[in-house]
Amino acid sequence: MTHWTLIPGILIQGYRVASGPSADYPYGALDRQRPIFTSRGLDLSEYFNGTLNIDIRPRTFTMVKPEFTFHSVEWTDLHPPEHFSFSRCEVIFKNVKYDGWVYYPHPETKKRNFQNPSLLEVIAMPVPEIKYRDRLQVLINPEEIEIK
């Protein structure tokens, strides 16, 4: 039985690479990545086509034992293959829970768009009415993600 850890956060604007388009990517990264993740065992087709960027400062996190890790994902010719990890989570907004996954592009393989360790990127079911600067909470699995 998993004992979830509740983390408060604030929704902030990201680089807009996942949902696209951004200055660096004329397409959404998730559009290209999802079929690869599906072929490797994680179907994200029902989830929103973008990420929630959740600032958990002053806390930080480390991915320690994610449910999924995909190595050498070749999803673009703009940079070398990347590693991605995923850990199941739930987003809570206005007392409603939405299923999701913490989406973790491994920084050692990521050449662009530095992510700070206080920013959880979450792929979730659509969350109605959410907007930047809204407060929300994330339930994470402490066996998979360490919060400091």
DSSP letters of 89-141? Answer: EEEEETTEEEEEEEEEE-TTT--SS---TTEEEEEES--TT--TT-EEEEEE-
* Region of residue 86 (left: phi > 0; alpha: psi -120 to 50; beta: else): beta
The confidence score (pLDDT) of residue 62 equals: 94
Sign of the alpha-carbon dihedral angle for 28, 29, 34, 39: positive
* Beta pairing class for 119-124 and 135-140: unpaired
Specify burial of residue 84 (Cβ count, 10 A radius: 0-12, 13-18, 19+).
buried
Mean pLDDT rounded to a whole number for the chain: 88
How far apart, in whole angstroms, are the C-alpha atoms of residue 118 and residue 58?
A: 7
DSSP letter for 84, please: E
Q: Looking at the DSSP assignment, which residues form a beta bridge with residue 122?
A: 52, 102
With bands split at pLDDT 50, 70 and 90, how would you rate the model's confidence at 32?
A: confident
- pTM (global) more than 0.85: yes
The confidence score (pLDDT) of residue 48 equals: 93
Q: What is the pLDDT of residues 81-127, one digit of tens each?
A: 899 999 999 999 999 999 999 999 988 776 655 568 899 999 999 99
Q: Which two tokens stand for residue 66?
A: 């994610």
The confidence score (pLDDT) of residue 11 equals: 97
| CB count in 10 Å sphere of residue 26 | 8
DSSP letter for 44, please: -
Query: Is the per-residue pLDDT at 26 higher than 60?
Result: no
Query: What is 5-147's CATH number?
Result: 2.40.30.30
Share of the chain above pLDDT 70, in %: 86
- Sequence spans of domains, the chain: 5-147
Query: Is the per-residue pLDDT at 14 higher than 80?
Result: no
With bands split at pLDDT 50, 70 and 90, how would you rate the model's confidence at 22?
A: very low
